Structure 1
Amino acid sequence: MDVQQSELKQDIAKVCMLAGKIMLQNGAETYRVEDTMNRIAASFHYPDANSFVTPTGIIFSIEGINTTRLYRIKDRGTDLYKVTLVNSLSRVISDGQLSVNEAYEKLKNIEENTDTYPIWLHVLSASIISGCFLIMFNGTWKDFIPAMLSGGFGYAINLYTHAMIKIRFLSEMFSSFVIAVVAFFLVANHYGTGLDVIIISSLMPLVPGVLITNAVRDLMAGDLVSGLSKGAESMLTALAMGVGVAIVFSIF
């Protein structure tokens, strides 16, 4: 009986860790990840579980398990649909409708689900967003197309360089550099008039809005380590974007 109880606790810990991993890798706030993991454990009659989450790691334990589980988070992105799926699944678990094994299988399906929008649609969306931000920033309709071109091209470069380099700071700096170069070229050839507003609106798809929001939310919730680290990451992103544009201005 003790062996079966220990194995059950191990399986519950696996479910909680997988749920936390999926949420943290896809843009969930720290407090939400911890709360979801603890709720899942409590749903399986172990309310004494403890979780500690940072942007780069998850630590989880249940009373009675000799080994504390640790998972290192290396890659993070934004897929709020997966976060929503895990949240919905945790509610189903809380209602007692799933066993431990069933919950684990469903979480594995969520994790392995790679159905995302194609790259061309990402780039097209970034282009439209850039043009719309230009109008929001009181730009002229003559600059709408230049903003779309520079924003879409810069976002495509960001996706490509991030896949090649894996260093976020460098990919964002190079993307900002490319955006500024394209904007300068279009304005110099009289395809646009407002250089500053074109560059600013084209940079908006690169702004880490979810990261900044999560940083503030974590600080408000008392998760100081996560809040400060996410805030520092967002500031580093802003610095990279500023450096890329500044290099172009210093050259031209």
Structure 2
Amino acid sequence: MEKIKTQKLSNLCLKTAYLLINGGAETYRVEDTVERIGRSLGSRVVCYVTVTAIFIEVNNQNYKFTKSVLGGTNLQMIDEINTMSRSLADRTLTPEDFTRRINQLYRNKRTTDFRFPVKAIGAGFVSMAPMLLFQMPGYYFIYCFIVGVIGYSVSYYLSHLSMLPYADLFISSFVIAVLGILLKNMGLVTEYHDIIIGAIMPLVPGVAITNAIRELVMRQALSSMVRFLDALLVASSIGFGIASALIIF
């Protein structure tokens, strides 16, 4: 019975770590959360995480390993699992409920998501924010909103249709730059650079860069460098997309 219990615990910890990594959590947060779950369930769990691999040891007798991939950012996933692990430690959540909810998250690979129109509108509002810094006229806000929604929509659908990494960011930033230039040529705006800067804000990997810096501060050098490289590739894809549009048009 103890072997079965240990086996189930190792599987549970492995799934939890996998979900956190794919949600964009820092490695030290993943290790701390998984080991807290083990202590809450009366077992000694040792967790070692890199960006591409997860190692779990339970009670010095059961070992698990799985590959992971560098996913996007799902703060809702991270927050939900972190809240559940602390509720488990406080005995306000039973082990059975915790296991059931982790299995449900692992099966769906996501939390309750917002619908695409809500995401697109949110991207439009994010695109409008830089206009406040530049103190642009009111109509710039409207154009930034429209271009930002279109750019995000292109990136969203291409990321679901194509398995080629970073291609969606290149194409969506290219589309954003073309729309900015088109607005300038039509005489609707005088500075298309401001439109481009605002509209690419939903695509910029701000959270990834922040997490990379936090990893470096916590002396997780390997994970930090991998996250920095991924953020650099994302930023480069956006930059090359914009540059290509400016060169062509």
Check whether TM > 0.5.
yes
Counterpart residue number, 1:205: 202
For structure 1, the 5+ residue unaligned runs are: none
Q: Which moved more, 1:231-240 or 1:106-115?
A: 106-115
Count of aligned positions: 247
Counterparts in 2 of 1:7 and 1:240: CA distance versus 1, 3 Å: same
Kindly indicate whether residue 50 of structure 2 is the aligned counterpart of residue 54 of structure 1.
yes
1:16·1:40 contact (CA, 8 Å) conserved in 2?
A: yes
Q: Which moved more, 1:195-204 or 1:94-103?
A: 94-103
Residue of structure 2 in register with 1:63 after alignment: 59
Structure 1 runs (4+) deviating above 6 angstroms are none
Whichever residue aligns with residue 223 of structure 2, its letter is S
For residue 143 of structure 1, report the CA deviation from its aligned partner: 1.6
Structure 2 partner of 1:78: 73
1-side partners of 2:243 and 2:79: how far apart? Answer: 39
So what's the TM-score if we normalise by structure 2?
0.92
Map Cα deviations across residues 40-67 of structure 1 (whole Å, 9 max, x no partner): 11222223x221212233111123324x
Which deviations, in whole Å up to 9, do the C-alpha atoms of 1:62-83 show, x marking residues without a partner?
A: 23324x2122223623221221
CA separation of 1:54 and 1:139: change in aligned 2, threshold 3 A? farther
The code of the aligned residue for 1:171 comes to D
1:214 equivalent in alignment to 2:208: no
Q: How much identity, in percent, do the aligned residues show?
A: 29
Q: Deviations over 1:92-119 (max 9, x none)?
A: 2212455544321121234436521111
Unaligned runs of 5+ in 2: none
Separation (CA, whole Å) in 1 of partners of 2:139 and 2:123:
18
1:236 corresponds to 2:222: no
Q: What is the deviation of 1:225?
A: 1.0
Contact 1:143 1:193 in 2 (8 A): no
Q: Which of the residues 238, 245, 250 maps onto 2:247?
A: 250
Using the TM superposition, give the Cα deviation of residue 91 of structure 1 relative to its aligned residue in structure 2, in angstroms.
Answer: 1.2
What amino acid maps onto 1:147 in structure 2? C
**CA offset at residue 146 of structure 1?**
1.7
d(CA) in 2 for partners of 1:21, 1:27: 10
Q: Is the Cα contact below 8 Å between 1:173 and 1:243 reproduced in 2?
A: yes
Residue 47 of structure 2: SS of its match in structure 1? strand
Asked if residue 131 in structure 1 is aligned to residue 128 in structure 2, the reply is yes
The alignment's TM-score, normalised by the length of structure 1, stands at 0.91
Q: Secondary structure at the match of 2:80?
A: helix
Aligned with 2:200: secondary structure? helix
- Asked whether the equivalents of residues 21 and 30 of structure 2 are also in contact (C-alpha less than 8 Å), the reply is yes
Matching residue's letter, 2:72: G
Q: CA RMSD in A?
A: 1.8
Write the distance in 1 (CA, Å) between the matches of 2:16 and 2:172: 33
CA–CA separation in structure 2 for the residues paired with 1:96 and 1:209: 36
Alignment partner, residue 184 of structure 1: 181
Kept in 1, the 8 Å contact 2:51–2:70? The answer is no
Q: Following the alignment from structure 1 to structure 2, what is the Cα–Cα distance between the partners of residues 6 and 63?
A: 10
Aligned-partner Cα distance in 1 for 2:151–2:200: 8
Q: Aligned with 2:243: secondary structure? A: helix
SS at match of 1:45: coil
1:211-233 residue CA offsets vs partner (Å, 9 max, x unmatched)? 11111111111111111100110
Instruction: Identify the residue that residue 39 of structure 1 maps to in structure 2.
Output: 36
Letter in 1 for 2:144: A
Within 1, Cα distance between the matches of 2:191 and 2:215? Answer: 38
